[in-house]
Amino acid sequence: MRIIILFSVILSVIGCTSSPFNTSNAPQYITVLHTNDNHGRFWHNEKGEYGMAARKTLIDALRNEARQQGHAVLLLSGGDINTGIPESDLQHAEPDFKGMSLLGYDAMAIGNHEFDNPLSVLAKQQQWANFPLLSANIFDKATGESAFQGYQVFEKNGLKIAVIGLTTTDTAKIANPQYIGHLEFKDPVDVTAKLVKEIKQQYNPDITIALTHMGHYVDANFGINAPGDVTLARSLPANTLDMIIGGHSQEPVCMAAKNKNDDNFKPGLACKPDQQNGTWIMQAHEWGKYVGKAEFKLENGTLTLLDYKLMPVNLYVDEIQDDGSSKQVLANEYIEPDPTLKSFLATYQAKGAKQIAGKIGSVDARLEGDRNKVRYQQTNLARVIIQAQMNVVGADFGLISGGGIRSSIEAGDISYKDILKVHPFKNRITYMDWQGRDLWNYLETVTSFPVDAGAYLQYHKLAFTRKNGKLVSVLIDGKPLEENKTYRMSLNSYNASGGDGYPAINKLKGFVSTDETDAQALKTFVSQNSPLKAAQFAPK
């Protein structure tokens, strides 16, 4: 009888433990909600699209529905909360991190833009967040220790879920070198392979998720970028990771077929996430435009995706009318912003707006600064920016990496807010006095950067020719470069210190850094030269 009683007690204890020891064959369910690349969009745009208050209404409804169905629920972010909207940037994304806390995020990956400010700011942001900021592949060079929390294990509704944070190794070249010089960004594949084994031995999780800020590149075609989520999934043993929730490439990951992107996806349409080597890969575009919702069933150790949606947050789409014209209509039913969160965020919005209000100038046509242009071709806005910086230091010519231009400027009045959307990083204007022969060697490198990269070179008062992978001619302000002549080049402090993979020149003789920021330079140029004529800056 004592043996029978003891056996009954053992069974009772086992029945109370989490699923790895659960003898029941009953299926278990989990709903994973996710966003990424917030970039300061705590407030809705001029059309009322996205915004954290409406996002909260949607997430609260999705979370409640999932829990009523017996699902465990996780809310995750693929990182890059910082940088993009002046009202947020001027307040170090305080409204964004505090807003995420009120939305109930469980964890986020640390993105490269989390290093746009000194690490003291990132530490403050962690205090504002009531959830962990994760990255397992960032290490302190001096100590060899992890610089941040690498993972978190959650126990929800009988499921044990391990979430591992990962950050693109490109951060080492695209983040501000002044803030990350002491950090090492290790290969995510090696780090993950080792960490998964350790987590399995210690926790034996039911589900393992990589929460990444590395980018989704279709069929692993990552080009000049660091390898992303597809490479991670393929490089590990099959089914090592159950899912990758990502960010960085800022796209909706919707697949038309195996290794083929769905180029026809629009808000409100069906979206099938990528799957590589037994791992589901998901990303929800950017700015909180969508909330990704993935529903899974776990049964007998097998995780099955039941349903996936990218749910638009008050996004508009073009609807063709009977007369052939198009009209902007909501892609979904209007989501009422959560009144409490909206009121909370409104204080920050008003404070930020007050700092940037007022007209400083005007332009007669659009100045092009969109991401899909400044990383592919020369643009008029780049010429305006470089001329403004050249004026500060009296340069003969100037350069800037395309990735440093963050927004366009529309025709009409220009405000300080418009300037700060273009230049959110507070980079300082620097100059370098080159001897012609040394300048040639520098240009040999920076003129070689390909399109579709933040490093892509935008330039002004400079012309060059490359043949067979070599620099063969250079003109400065229309005249051939002379080896023994001195030339002054303007450049921002980010590129000068090695950002975007540019050669670091900030310790060379002839280098000077000013106290003028890129935003101040552009603001001064616009105010002194308005109304600007966009055609005068058209690339030749």
Which sequence positions are flagged as catalytic?
37, 39, 80, 112-113, 116, 213, 248, 250, 371, 375, 406
Question: How does strand 274-276 pair with strand 279-282?
Answer: antiparallel
Alpha helices per DSSP H over 110-222: 119-128, 171-174, 177-180, 188-203
Token pair, residue 67, equals 């829990």
Query: What is the C-alpha separation between 55 and 312, in angstroms, rounded?
Result: 9
Distance of CA 193 to the CA centre of its chain: 24
- Based on its alpha-carbon atoms, the radius of gyration of the chain, rounded to whole angstroms, reads 25
For 225, phi and psi rounded to 5 degrees?
A: -75, 160
Looking at the DSSP bridge assignments, the partners of residue 55 are none
Alpha helices per DSSP H over 94-176: 94-103, 119-128, 171-174
Alpha helices per DSSP H over 357-473: 371-374, 380-393, 416-422, 436-446
Q: Which helix (H) or strand (E) holds 162?
A: strand 159-167
Burial class (CB in 10 A: 0-12, 13-18, 19+), 47: exposed
Q: Supply the angle between the helices 52-68 and 339-356 in degrees, to the nearest 10.
A: 160
Q: Are 338 and 56 spatial neighbours (Cβ–Cβ below 8 Å)?
A: yes
3-state class percentages of the chain: helix first, strand second, coil last, to nearest 5: 35, 30, 40
Residue given tokens 């950050």 in the structure block:
167
DSSP reduced 3-state for 435: strand
Farthest-apart Cα atoms in the chain, separation: 102
DSSP reduced 3-state for 450: coil
Q: Are 206 and 155 spatial neighbours (Cβ–Cβ below 8 Å)?
A: no
Query: What is the C-alpha separation between 227 and 214, in angstroms, rounded?
Result: 7
Query: What is the C-alpha separation between 224 and 310, in angstroms, rounded?
Result: 28
First to last CA, the chain: 94
